[in-house]
């Protein structure tokens, strides 16, 4: 059986935290601040760029100028979005396999749409996706179900599965609702048991079999 498969991006298909960290370090330097640790920045990822910048500002005690900070971050990230970013092991092969098997594939990320598309293009993954919804593509961001609903609207009907890595993704899936597969090796902060999910997997090689089980439910 074929279906509509929507994927989160950061921490799910790609390990993008190193480039996000690099752009944050450059933004911090613009305002005379020392770098924050990579793990710290990674823990701020998940609710989109405006919230990321808000959290970084909070960490260094800055309270004003959010729009300017955000513009700096987006400029640094646009200049260098995929130098350190890599797909998780098995991702390119599995996307190829799922597309060949006839599934319709989409992206629903809180990352802004332009860098999301650019990173997919640079990593050679863009051709698989019929729709890319970013954090600025609709009036809302995940965990509001609107962007995920828009992604499915752009794909053919049939059984649906959402694949993500975070608290935000689990909440979005529950809100829509849609069957949710959790990639356990991304950027989540909570123990597995605290994240509502229908399926969990740690290796992309296991995803095709999981998709078959999920769509047959
Ligand atoms: O950019 C973010 O904050 C998170 O992006 P994601 O939705 O692809 O995990
Ligand atoms: Mg994610």
Residue 192 CB: number of other CB atoms within 10 A?
11
Same domain for 138 and 75 = no
Round to whole Å and give the CA distance between 217 and 204: 20
- Collapsing DSSP states into helix, strand and coil, what is residue 162? strand
**CA-to-CA separations, 216 to 3, 148, 155, 208, in angstroms, rounded:** 10, 21, 18, 12
Residue 36: give the domain boundaries. 17-79
Same domain for 193 and 165 = yes
Q: Domain boundary at 79, 105, 127, which?
A: 79
Could you give the ipTM of this predicted complex?
0.96
Give the pLDDT score at 189: 96
**How many separate domains does the chain show?**
2
| Best probe residue, ligand 1, of 7, 109, 148 (max atoms within 8 Å of C-beta) | 109
> Angle 39-134-150 (CA atoms, 0-180°, nearest 5)?
135
Residue nearest to atom 4 of ligand 1 (CA): 46
pLDDT tens for 9-43 read 999 999 999 999 999 999 999 999 999 999 999 99
Ligand-binding annotation for 80, yes or no, is no
Ligand nearest to the CA of 24: 1
Ligand-binding annotation for 136, yes or no, is no
Single pTM value for the model? 0.98
Give the pLDDT score at 131: 98
Ligand-binding annotation for 206, yes or no, is no
Extract the residue ranges of the chain whose pLDDT is less than 50. Answer: none
Catalytic residue IDs: 8
Give the pLDDT score at 187: 98
């Amino acid at each position: 059986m074929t279906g509509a498969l929507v994927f989160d991006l950061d921490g799910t298909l790609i390990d993008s935290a190193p480039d996000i960290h690099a752009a944050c370090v450059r933004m911090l330097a613009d305002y005379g601040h020392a770098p924050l640790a990579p793990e710290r920045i990674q823990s701020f990822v998940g609710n989109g760029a405006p919230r990321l910048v808000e959290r970084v500002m909070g960490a260094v005690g800055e309270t004003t100028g959010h729009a300017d900070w955000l513009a700096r971050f987006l400029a640094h990230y646009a200049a260098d979005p995929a130098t350190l970013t890599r797909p998780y092991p098995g991702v390119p092969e599995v996307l190829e396999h799922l597309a060949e098997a006839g599934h319709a594939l989409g992206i629903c990320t809180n990352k802004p749409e332009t860098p999301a598309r650019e990173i997919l293009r640079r990593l050679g993954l863009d051709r698989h996706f019929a729709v890319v919804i970013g954090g600025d593509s609709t009036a809302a961001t995940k965990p509001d179900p609107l962007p995920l609903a828009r992604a499915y609207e752009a794909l053919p009907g049939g059984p649906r599965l959402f694949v993500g890595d975070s608290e935000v993704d689990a909440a979005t899936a529950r809100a829509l609702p849609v069957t949710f597969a959790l990639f356990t090796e991304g950027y989540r902060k909570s123990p597995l048991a605290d994240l509502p999910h229908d399926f969990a997997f740690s290796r992309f090689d296991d995803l095709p079999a999981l998709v078959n089980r999920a769509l047959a439910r």
